[in-house]
Chain A
Amino acid sequence: EVQLLESGGGLVQPGGSLRLSCAASGFTFSSYAMSWVRQAPGKGLEWVSSFSAAADGTYYADSVKGRFTISRDNSKNTLYLQMNSLRAEDTAVYYCAKVVQIRPREGFDYWGQGTLVTVSS
């Protein structure tokens, strides 16, 4: 059974940093691209970032480019999202999502439960 478990969310002041983790199990983690998708309170889904399993790139939405960094540790079956220079508009539930294939393209097939990030003074 595929399981994705996010952690690391919390309350942070504007300009602060936070690192999210997503522990994966139930599939060969190194063989699939992975993504982060967020949802602001009362709003729709927004794709944030993806990491190809083919070692051919990391990708970011314009809204987070230059501030967020996605990474993965295949030895620990874990995906990360380092978030710096946080803004109020980054407040959202952050979901970890498994991509259907090795490269970001077909969409997502499994989702975690999400972790809430609140940026406020």
Chain B
Amino acid sequence: QTVVTQEPSFSVSPGGTVTLTCGLSSGSVSTSYYPSWYQQTPGQPPRTLIYSTNTRSSGVPDRFSGSILGNKAALTITGAQADDECYYYCVLFMGSGIWVFGGGTKLTVL
């Protein structure tokens, strides 16, 4: 069974840059997996940041960007702000209409 991997936690300083990654337990992530990224604060629904690897969703500031770095999908946040502190999830399209989410990364801004 394919597992989508994310860092369980990450820290960034205010104003700093952080790159979160999304990988596969076996194999490499490519654009063919249409990686997408979601932001979630506790008690709230997810908010879409990025879909199709690097397309920003409506209203998402350009501080958030998506890419493929090596064998993983990546979400880069520049100019980190206090309200960026929350959970980030990636999801990969596995084909045949099936998606698999990663376990999420808890980002701390301090």
Contact = CB atoms under 8 A, between A and B. Distances in A.
Interface residues of A, number: 26
A47 B52 contact: no
Contact of B51 (A103, A106, A111): A106
Interface string B39-60: 0100001111001100101100
B101 A44 contact: yes
B46 A111 contact: yes
Nearest to A35: B99
Interface stretch (B11-19, B76-84, B88-96): B88-96
Nearest to A108: B48
B30 to A, nearest CB: 14
A107 B47 contact: no
Contacts of A109: 48, 51, 57-58
Given A59-B98, A61-B98, A112 B45 contact: yes
A44 B104 contact: yes
Interface residues of B, number: 27
Contact of B47 (A46, A104, A106, A111): A111
A27 to B, nearest CB: 12
Contact of A107 (B40, B52, B96, B100): B52
A108 B104 contact: no
B93 A107 contact: yes
Among A35, A44, A50, A110: residue with most chain B CB under 10 A: A44
Contacts of A58: 97
Contact of B104 (A45, A57, A111): A45
A74 interface: no
Contact of B46 (A45, A100, A105): A45
B64 to A, nearest CB: 14
A44 B47 contact: no
Given A44-B101, A45-B101, A104 B58 contact: no
A33 B91 CA distance: 16
Given A46-B101, A111-B46, A100 B52 contact: yes
7 contacts: A47-B99, A47-B101, A105-B34, A106-B36, A106-B55, A108-B46, A109-B57
